[in-house]
Amino acid sequence: MAELTNPERRMLRALQTRHDEWTLDDILEACDWNDQAIAASAGHGLSNHGLVKTIKTSKKGVILGDEGLKAAEFGLLEKRLWEFIKQNPSATMSDISKSFERNESGPGIGLLKRLGVTISEGRFVFENRAEIDEEIELRTKFIESPSIDNPLISHFSGRKNLIEIVEEVYTKWKITREGIKFPPKDLVEITQIADITSELLQGEDWKSAQFRPYDVTLEASMPTSGRSHPMQALIERIRSIFLEMGFSELVDNYVQTAGWNMDALFIPQDHPAREMQDTFYLDNPSSINLDKKLLEKWKNVHEHGGNTESSGWGGNFSKDISQRGLLRTHTTVNTIQYLAENPKKPCRVFAVDRVFRKESIDRTHLPEFHQIEGIIMEPGANLAMLVSTLKTFYEKMGYPEVRVRPAYFPYTEPSLEVEVKWQGKWLELGGAGIFRPEVTEPLGISDPVCAWGMGLERLAMLVLGLDDIRQLYISDIEWLKNQPIL
């Protein structure tokens, strides 16, 4: 049997005493309430339970329009004009123009004329003073409390913006057969707890109290309020997952050098990704000085493998190319610098940050996007650890099915591509691997480093079910309003 709230119990008890229609006023009186909202919500609840029937009837009503509201506050125009003339019996038209607004005097005189005032030799003449007084009084009363049944309705309907005829909806309630049968013993009001407060939990009363049940299947309206953009909300969620997994966050500049963005990562200087179509090189700063010793180390590694067993890329390494300014093309540029500064300290670090690539904009590409980057450096770090960390991350994001495939990056060995299953399809979300000795050795790193970098927008497309990445960055208020809370 339905559990009723106290107001529902009280209202149903009242309705059981008389089985015909009840108006709102009847209910307020019988239940001893003065808040209409309580009655309306109890009525709504009882009709959801099938215990009462809600009957809606509508009736024409009248409300004041803009001019009507002004009249209610300052007086009707004819009344103000009439008082003025009574007080200044010798007033002329020009006195009127001085004391009233331009747009008031003309229509005002028109109104008075229709009430029987005439103008003779510039003065106002009237014989039926009492009648005019009376008519103006009636109109004033109407404005003070407008009613659809007042015959002045037709007069005011002919005047601009004084009144508006509206449809008013009235609700009445009538008990149903189920309501009549509802056992009175279940209509006794009880102490119910609707809010769980800290005071409540500190006391003992809750142990014997009844908790108010909520029906979570009932329709509710969607509150529209300000909140984070879905991208920001997603970033916050990713952040909290990595923090929860024991990572610390790294935030760094997006203006970088080719040296850190590429050379440190053993990307050969003649690699196609270095060319203008992929990377935004900067005019200002076009070049940023790098540490001479570091450049020398990178030169050695690139040309012949340095102190590693690698034979390097061969050719001539250019320190000028290394010092060119650019907008970072991946966040790995920041994790590698973090490692260079802390080569001996085991760490777990992540970043969610913006990167730039010379891409033309389409359904799946943007020149400015975000990566979710991370590293684990510690003795014994290995591929299994890398894969299980990524799996854990995606599982916490709600994607338990993750697989990795062999891939190639110049800076990792082995290298992986990470894929997530979404709606039956495997989607590639990013790359990962273990940094090569050509990367770690010049920086003095001796422990293995697991690293990964993934596209945030790609993930956002999955989470938000998008097939066009551009949707994330247009200000589509309707779409934004309807996004899930992440």
Gap between the Cα atoms of 315 and 306, Å rounded: 14
Gap between the Cα atoms of 473 and 485, Å rounded: 17
* Residue with smaller CB distance to ligand PHE, 325 or 414: 414
37's CB contacts (< 8 A; 6+ apart) are none
Q: How is residue 341 written in tokens?
A: 């500064």
Site for ligand PHE in 357-416 (CB under 6 A): 409, 412
The distance of closest approach from Cβ of residue 202 to ligand PHE in the complex, given in angstroms and rounded to an integer, is: 51
The distance of closest approach from Cβ of residue 240 to ligand PHE in the complex, given in angstroms and rounded to an integer, is: 22
- Residue 50 φ/ψ region, left for φ over 0, alpha for ψ in the -120 to 50 degree band, beta for the rest: left
The distance of closest approach from Cβ of residue 402 to ligand PHE in the complex, given in angstroms and rounded to an integer, is: 16
Span interacting with ligand PHE, options 24-32, 244-252, 429-437, 469-477, rule CB under 6 A: 429-437
Span interacting with ligand PHE, options 115-123, 279-287, 292-300, 445-453, rule CB under 6 A: 445-453
The distance of closest approach from Cβ of residue 233 to ligand PHE in the complex, given in angstroms and rounded to an integer, is: 24
Gap between the Cα atoms of 170 and 269, Å rounded: 79
Angle between helices 77-87 and 129-144 (to 10 degrees): 140
By CB under 6 A, is residue 230 in contact with ligand PHE? Answer: no
The distance of closest approach from Cβ of residue 380 to ligand PHE in the complex, given in angstroms and rounded to an integer, is: 19
Span interacting with ligand PHE, options 203-211, 293-301, 311-319, 426-434, rule CB under 6 A: 426-434
The distance of closest approach from Cβ of residue 371 to ligand PHE in the complex, given in angstroms and rounded to an integer, is: 6
Instruction: Give the residue from 330, 225, 238 showing the smallest Cα distance to 280.
Output: 330
* Residue with smaller CB distance to ligand PHE, 317 or 409: 409
The distance of closest approach from Cβ of residue 333 to ligand PHE in the complex, given in angstroms and rounded to an integer, is: 9
The distance of closest approach from Cβ of residue 278 to ligand PHE in the complex, given in angstroms and rounded to an integer, is: 11
* Residue with smaller CB distance to ligand PHE, 152 or 273: 273
By CB under 6 A, is residue 448 in contact with ligand PHE? Answer: no
Which of 49, 299, 453, 463 contacts ligand PHE by CB under 6 A? 453
Site for ligand PHE in 162-221 (CB under 6 A): none
Instruction: Give the residue from 197, 336, 183, 334 showing the smallest Cα distance to 265.
Output: 336
Gap between the Cα atoms of 270 and 267, Å rounded: 8
By CB under 6 A, is residue 11 in contact with ligand PHE? Answer: no
By CB under 6 A, is residue 433 in contact with ligand PHE? Answer: yes
The distance of closest approach from Cβ of residue 446 to ligand PHE in the complex, given in angstroms and rounded to an integer, is: 19
* Residue with smaller CB distance to ligand PHE, 407 or 464: 407
Gap between the Cα atoms of 443 and 315, Å rounded: 22
111's CB contacts (< 8 A; 6+ apart) are 77, 78, 81
Q: Per the omega criterion (within 30 degrees of 0), is the bond before 410 cis?
A: no
* Residue with smaller CB distance to ligand PHE, 163 or 238: 238
* Residue with smaller CB distance to ligand PHE, 47 or 329: 329
Site for ligand PHE in 326-345 (CB under 6 A): 330, 332
Instruction: Give the residue from 428, 257, 384, 274 showing the smallest Cα distance to 333.
Output: 257
* Residue with smaller CB distance to ligand PHE, 323 or 332: 332
Span interacting with ligand PHE, options 119-127, 155-163, 227-235, 431-439, rule CB under 6 A: 431-439
Q: What angle do CA 12, 14, 15 make, to 5 degrees?
A: 65
The distance of closest approach from Cβ of residue 454 to ligand PHE in the complex, given in angstroms and rounded to an integer, is: 7
The distance of closest approach from Cβ of residue 477 to ligand PHE in the complex, given in angstroms and rounded to an integer, is: 33
CA distances from 435 to 269, 298, 408 (A): 18, 15, 12
The residue type of 126 is F
Question: What is the longest distance spanned by two Cα atoms in the chain?
Answer: 120
Which of 452, 456, 457, 458 contacts ligand PHE by CB under 6 A? 452
* Residue with smaller CB distance to ligand PHE, 136 or 404: 404
Pairing state between β 425-435 and 449-455:
antiparallel
CA distances from 244 to 97, 232, 375, 485 (A): 76, 18, 15, 20
By CB under 6 A, is residue 356 in contact with ligand PHE? Answer: no
* Residue with smaller CB distance to ligand PHE, 43 or 433: 433
421's CB contacts (< 8 A; 6+ apart) are 399, 401, 402, 403, 427
CA distances from 117 to 71, 128, 134, 141 (A): 21, 9, 14, 21
Gap between the Cα atoms of 220 and 235, Å rounded: 29
Which of 295, 432, 449, 472 contacts ligand PHE by CB under 6 A? 432
Which of 68, 431, 442, 448 contacts ligand PHE by CB under 6 A? 431
Site for ligand PHE in 45-104 (CB under 6 A): none
By CB under 6 A, is residue 437 in contact with ligand PHE? Answer: no
Give the footprint of ligand PHE on this chain (CB under 6 A): 330, 332, 409, 412, 430-433, 451-453
